[in-house]
A and B are shown apart, each in its own frame.
Chain A
Amino acid sequence: MKGTLSKKLLKFIIPLFSIPLFIMIVFYHSFLMTVVEKGTENVSRDSLVRLNSVIEKTANSQTNLSNYLIQEEDFHYFPMLTIIDKDFNIIADIQKINIGKKYHKYNQELQKYIKEVLKSQNIDVIHWQKMQLMVKPLLNSKNEIIAFTINDYSDFFNKKIITIDQTFFYILFIVIFVIFIGIIFTIIFAYQITHNINLFIDSTKIIATGDLSHQVNISSNDELDILANYFNNMVKKLKLMDDKIKNFNNQLKFRIDEEVKKNREKDKKMIYQSRLAQMGEMLSMIAHQWRQPLNAISSTCVHLTIKAQLDKANSEFVMKESENISKFVQHLSSTIDDFRDFFKTNKKLQNTNFTELLTAVLGIIESSVISKNIELIKDLRFEGKFKTYPNEIKQVILNLIKNAEDILLEKKIKKPFIKISTFKEGENYILEVSDNGGGVPDAVVEKIFDPYFSTKLKLDGTGLGLYMSKTIIEEHCGGKITVSNSKDGAVFKISL
């Protein structure tokens, strides 16, 4: 019998009918015993009173008393009858064996008792319950006690008791059987109650798993039936709402997918724009890099032409100038290679350090920066190697230096400088790019990394440089980029 409700019902109902039945049985038994005892005592008392007349009849022939008593119809209840005289000698004994034993066992107590009777001259029948004996003094014509009859009524009593016991046992059997059947019915009753509740629980479990089409099938025509109907209605409504939510979710999902798709396209566009902007900047840098070697080539060519017109260009001179031109061309070519490498998309992690990365970046931008009278301060304190995507980091560094250069030029700062520092902070490798451009206004610090946000409107900023830098550092390289203001200006900190 599983389930606490069934057990509770059993624990409540079974004692409810079994305890009163058992109490009734106990009272019934004690009542029967009292009745038997009382009845036996009354019969014994009446018979012993009648004994007086018998004694009178046989006063002078006591030896025939036993025979007389056996024949006497009224005394068939008393097969155990003994008569003793005042000196405690047995003068008549119908069943010597049993009463003899009892008499001897309680002899002293009996003698003491009889002495008290003689003293008090009490002639009533005395019921000695302890031994199931009745004692009656026998009187002579002068009302003197001459002897005592002792009646052992135990045999009569026991026979009555057997009957009573068996009848009682019969009733007890009925009661026990009724209790058993009662228990069986209680189990069935408890089960009938809990069956529908269990059905309810099973259905609730199914519904809890998300099957809102499930219905509770109870047809008990009681409160549970009503509850089940309400529950089913509730589930129906829940299903309708669930369907609505599902539809709404599907629509929402579709819209989100659309938006995500749009965003991706936008991102692509932004990346493309950012790349174009960076390439534009690169082109200006290439132009700047190329200006000097092109001037040198041009002047070498002019020098060669003049020498040739003056007919002073010997082969040795021509060879020397050709070598110079060749060197300049190689320089131009290497510059192109540097730019090409810069935009190569290499998605492999490489072992590198900040110094290598900065050398590559400064190779491109340094001359451009210096040409604008901006001092470039390098404070490289960390030479340790780490694994990262070099080209992507280079683009970020280049972007930060370019931004610093733009702001310094825009604000026309006197003694402008850009400081690049590398160091280790705890477990992190740090690269800082700072300037003395006055810093980022507090109002825009929060938005500085947002896409399309730019403070360089006059310089045609796209607003994508810092957004892309943040994306590269935080999403590709697993690092962090932050901005803060020092007393001179902005400090961009890359932490890898």
Chain B
Amino acid sequence: MKKNFYLFGVLLLGVVIFSLIDFNVDGFDFLKFQVSKYYFQSWIAMAGAVFSLIMSITIFIIYKKSDLISLKFISISFLLISSAYGVIGYHTSYCKICSDLSLCGASHTYPNYFIVIALVIFVLGILLVNLNKNLRFLKLFSYGLIFATLLLMIILFLSLEFMETPDITNYILINLNLQGFTFVFPLVFIGFAFFYMRSIYRVTNSIILIFVLIFVSFIPQAYHIFICDECQSMECSEFYIFSGFLIFLAVGLFIYSMSLELDKKDALE
């Protein structure tokens, strides 16, 4: 797996470089806290952040009780995703353009849920297979999942009552923002990691599903950053790219923990 992580390091550097290439914030002051209006997409991001945070805590508790090292990385992954959602949530809470009913916010909030789903599937797989079918951990996981889902549902249904809906914005979609590569590099890494793993381990259908979900989650994000002129000219793309950077780190840890599990499975067989 060393090759995988050399590539990860190189691509992470690429992400940093390409995020700086088209850096354009139109005089925005990052240090000044923006007044939140809780627009449409901020609620979805907020729900994602809370859900990921609860899952992170739950999995960390399971890791402490089971000493299964791969769960530690999954817990950190969830924490990073929660942070990424926090960044998107903050931005979409005040940015009228990103939070309207069309492209910007939705291109990042919804797809990141695919990664959350992939992580949940993976953790369930570990608990069912690797923890010697211990019901105690499975119960703990399901309690965490219930609590996280309840909070997510409450936030999403509350949002229907309290959200601000801005007017429809007509987008100018003819730009080519090179910062979009920061979402292409993760795609390259995921593709490489999948084929590399498939050449070494016996990859199951659930692992394929996980890879597909992660891969699919980056495509709309990359597409949006490439084409959206509004996001490039304002500070929006910088927020999304920072969240993408965090998500990329989370995916790296996720794939590392996956390789640990596959190594263990191979050793057992």
Contact = CB atoms under 8 A, between A and B. Distances in A.
A185 B153 contact: no
30 contacts: A1-B128, A159-B168, A162-B102, A162-B168, A163-B101, A166-B101, A166-B102, A169-B106, A170-B44, A170-B156, A170-B160, A173-B44, A173-B113, A174-B153, A177-B152, A181-B145, A181-B149, A184-B120, A184-B121, A184-B124, A184-B145, A185-B142, A185-B146, A187-B124, A188-B141, A192-B135, A192-B139, A195-B133, A195-B135, A198-B133
A417 interface: no
A166 B40 contact: yes
Contacts of B66: none
Interface of B: 40, 44, 101-102, 106, 110, 113, 117, 120-121, 124, 128, 133, 135, 138-139, 141-142, 145-146, 149, 152-153, 156-157, 160, 165, 168
B101 A177 contact: no
A272 interface: no
Contacts of B141: 188
Given A162-B168, A163-B165, A181-B149, A188 B101 contact: no
Interface in A139-178: 159, 162-163, 165-167, 169-170, 173-174, 177-178
Nearest to A163: B101
A317 interface: no
Contacts of B101: 162-163, 165-167
Given A162-B168, A174-B156, A185 B145 contact: yes
A429 interface: no
Contacts, number: 55
A477 B39 CA distance: 105
B105 to A, nearest CB: 11
A181 B147 CA distance: 11
Contacts of A198: 133
A343 interface: no
A97 to B, nearest CB: 15
Contacts of A181: 145, 149
B153 A178 contact: yes
Give 4 closest A-B pairs by Cβ, nearest first: A166-B101, A181-B149, A188-B142, A174-B156
A188 B138 contact: yes
Contacts of A163: 101, 165, 168
A159 B157 CA distance: 23
A354 interface: no
A160 to B, nearest CB: 10
Contacts of B110: 173
Contact of A188 (B124, B152, B153, B165): B124
B138 A192 contact: yes
A191 interface: yes
B268 to A, nearest CB: 16
Contacts of A159: 168
B101 to A, nearest CB: 4
A234 to B, nearest CB: 25
Nearest to A194: B133
Nearest to A166: B101
Interface string A1-19: 1000000000000000000
Nearest to A198: B133
Nearest to B43: A170
Contacts of A188: 124, 138, 141-142
